[in-house]
Structure 1
Amino acid sequence: MKVRPAKDDVRLKRLVTVNNRLKLRWVVAGEISVRAYTQLRSQSSDRCVSTRSSELVFVVAGEHHVEFGPTRQQVCLSPGDCFLIHRGTPHVARSRQRTRLLVIDLLKPSVAELGVTLCRPCNPRISKLGVTLWNTSTKLGAAALVKMARRFVAGMTDFRTIALEPCHNTARMLHAKRALEERFLSPVNVAALAREMGLDRYYLLRAFKHNFGMTPVQYVQFLRLEHFLWTQLESSDGASLTSAALNAGFGDYSTFCRRIRRVVGRAPSRLVP
């Protein structure tokens, strides 16, 4: 039976391996692909390579020359750092060591704005994604890649196909969004949140959906799902799915199962590598 995704769902579309480079495509307001590769010194040249207009290139390790207009600037990264080469910027590698690159490709112009604004620092997340891709001793399963990809997308300010429209209540809605992000593991009380902000409950529901494309409850469910997927990726103690669902803020296991099936199209037990 074909599962029809909801509007707010992030759904796996295609997983492929090309020339030993792990490449993941998934749907979130369009197509995004993630790939990682190591650029050896023998592969580098003086020829500048421009990133595509849809591409974000993160240099995670090594040395890299980046050209900014008439000048050329060298970037040497220390452990734990990463450098973002913005879209369309010419760059060339001249490294005495291996240069590791992580490429986030926004394949449709409608989602290009996702790559330029992050709601919190992405260095730890990018570094963790790179370390997992490069240093794993075994071939990563599709589930592990999906979890990492979803977690990266969750850090972006917007998941929608249209830009945030300016309106008089944008600041209040951003405050409500941050409040939900801080309390998503607890039971959601939209009426209490509306009273806290001095708004009518129904006005909050309409304004929140107008700004972010989903209701507060739908957004909290999305945050809980992201929390569960990332916890499963990092956990190695073999915790049960029931306890993981409860720790993620889901009230009961059946609701959790329905949500997982709705988003990724498979049972929770099949997500664990």
Structure 2
Amino acid sequence: MMLSTGTSGLRAVMADSSHVFPRHTHDEFGIGVICAGGQISASGRGQVTAGAGDVITVNPGEVHDGAPLRGERRHWQMLYFDPDLISDLHRAVHPGASTDFEFTAPVLSNEAIAAALLAAFRQISTGVSIAPRLASEQALLQLLAPLMQIRPAPMAPRRHPEIRRARTLLDDMPEANLSLAQLAAEAGLSRFQTLRAFTASYGMTPHAYVMQRRANIAKQLIIKGTGLAAAATEAGYADQSHMTRDFRRRYGLTPAVFQQIS
């Protein structure tokens, strides 16, 4: 369930599900708490297990998956931040410092941060008419300030920097029916080298990457009120039924249900 926050660039999501999420990414920063049950997930930061009371995080573009422990349902509350909002809050915590930030741990067993997250979630998801802007900003800073004191671990250098050109092409034209040969030409590599280097660099194949981009675009369009058929076309799906199948596999719900709760 997506809840209104009254804050631009911030989404609050409450979920209860046994769905197995395939490898995917978000365009936003995410931080939440497992309220009941447990989850096992894998990303570039390794495979981790989170149980009730644990804090979970994800960075924009980070490939990850998620499955319930022992197949049982788990309940979680998440806040998703646009990168611009995170940069603004980081400036508030560290005036004059670089706005570069990333969550360093996919799972944290920290009661204070978990309590701050749940308090912020309650404060923010009550609605703009009840939650004054000052109280919401205060809750967000109290949640994020301790995490922003942790120095980020250095990112491992990409082994294939030229493959970024292929990714940029997919980012700029997610709706296009690009071929592996076109991506290879952009990167200056063979088709096999491109496939292998892209997967090593970004944790998923080029096709999986562009399908994730289409899903993210469709979600944003639906949130903005775009009709489902138009959202499917604009995001690059073959048709609305194609988008519906992809949504069900990725998120455990259909675009129509997502539209209702957005």
Q: Normalization by structure 1: what TM-score?
A: 0.47
For the pair shown, the structure with the greater C-alpha radius of gyration is 1
Provide TM-score, normalisation by structure 2: 0.49
Higher helix share: 2
